[in-house]
Structures are given as structure tokens and as C-alpha cells.
A = this chain, B = another copy of it.
């Protein structure tokens, strides 16, 4: 029993080490940019072990990008403060060092990786739309789409392009600027101010 446990825990530890290294490098360089050799070197371990553990680079990527948006952390339903909550939650996904970076990796890889796109669509359908539906099920898909348009564009400018006014702005300013827009989209959002 103990025997089995120890053996498992050894391999499980390197498995987690590989996953952690993979996530960091996929985050920094995307699917194509991060090579198996680089990931292995950062662990450090032989590149062939990565294949032994995960079967292929593609499978490693799939295992490294299991995304849970953790909307259940919102607890009792927010209601009219949803805009601020959503954007704070979204910023955490990128700025928390120990976050799993899953969504960030997918977004960075989405331009040239069909699997990343598919996963983002799944997350949208299975996690974002249900949340927005709780506010009002009418046209929830459209409103959810408007929200992620703004959030993804913000992430693109702030974290990927590093466009100076957006990337240099303190977090609180971002919340104050985009929170009301998200709120507006969340509750309907077809008319102007």
C-alpha cells in the first residue's frame, strides 16, 4: 500500500512538475513557440519523458489547459455588481502568479491552434453563458458574447500587445473604466447611456 503510494507520488510529482513548466512556457510562447525540449529543460528532465508521461505534445497541451473559471466562488448571486466582479475575477486569471493560467494560454494560442479555439468556445458555452443566464436568460448568448468581446480585447491589449496606456494603467483604473461597460452589457446593453 505504502509502496504503491510512494511510487505513485514520485511519478505524480514529476508529472506535476512537467505540467507546471509546460503551463509557464505555453503561457509565454504559445503552443508552437514552446518546444518540448524547452519545457523539459526547465523541469529539468529528458524530453523523452514528456512523451512517456503524456503521449504527445498535443496531449500535454490539452492536459495543461483544463480551465475552470470558478464562478462558484461568487457565492450568493451578485446581481447588480456583476460588472465589477467579472472584471476583477478576469484580471485575477492573468495576474495571480499561482493561477492555472489556462485561459491565458488558450487565448495566446488561439490564433493558430484550432484546439485552443474549440476549448475557448466550450468554456464560453459551458461556463460563461450559464452565468449570464442567471441574470436574465433572454438573449444570454448575445450578452455573454458582448462581455467576452470586451474582456478578451482588454487582455489582448494589456497582457499580449502591452499597449502602453492600457498595460501601464493600475488595476483599479481598469476596473473603474471597464466595469460599467461590462455591467451595461450584462443587463441588456443595446441602448446607449
Contacts and interface: CB of A to CB of B under 8 A. Distances in A.
A144 to B, nearest CB: 7
A148 B142 contact: no
B162 A142 contact: no
B148 A150 contact: no
Contact of A108 (B111, B145, B165): B111
Contacts of A23: none
A192 B193 contact: yes
A120 B161 contact: yes
Given A111-B108, A117-B161, A176 B156 contact: no
Interface string A151-193: 1111011101111111001000000111011011000011111
14 contacts: A32-B33, A108-B111, A117-B162, A145-B163, A145-B165, A146-B166, A146-B178, A149-B154, A150-B153, A152-B157, A153-B156, A156-B156, A176-B190, A192-B193
Nearest to A173: B142
Contacts of A107: 111
A189 B177 contact: yes
A94 interface: no
A2 B50 CA distance: 63
What's the number of copies of this chain in the assembled complex? Answer: 2
Given A112-B33, A190-B177, A153 B149 contact: yes
A103 to B, nearest CB: 12
Nearest to A162: B117
B145 A166 contact: yes
Given A107-B111, A142-B169, 11 more contacts: A32-B112, A109-B111, A111-B160, A112-B112, A121-B163, A142-B165, A148-B153, A148-B157, A149-B156, A150-B153, A176-B190
Nearest to A124: B163
